[in-house]
Copies of this chain bind each other. A is one copy, B any other.
Amino acid sequence: VLSREDRSAFAKASHTVVARKGDVIAEEGEPFSSVSSVVTGVVKLTKSMSDGRQQIVGLAFPADLVGRPFAERSGYRVEAATDVALCSFPRRQFESQLRSHPDVEHFLLQAKLDEIDSARDWMVLLGRKSAHERVATFLTLLATRASKDATGSSTPPERVSFQLPLSRAEIGDYLGMTLETVSRQLSKLRDEGIIAMPNSSTVHVPNLANLAALTGD
B-binding residues in A (CB < 8 A): 45, 47, 49-51, 53-55, 57-58, 68-71, 75-76, 98-99, 102, 105-106, 108-110, 112-113, 115-117, 119-124, 126-129, 173, 175-176, 216-217
Contacts of A117 in B (CB 8 A): 68, 75
Contacts of A217 in B (CB 8 A): 49-50
Shortest beta-carbon contacts, A-B, top 10: A127-B176, A126-B126, A119-B119, A57-B120, A102-B102, A55-B127, A55-B124, A126-B127, A53-B128, A109-B109
Contacts of A76 in B (CB 8 A): 120
Given A105-B109, A109-B112, 13 extra CB contacts under 8 A:
A55-B127, A57-B120, A57-B123, A70-B110, A70-B113, A75-B121, A98-B106, A112-B112, A116-B116, A119-B119, A119-B120, A126-B127, A127-B175
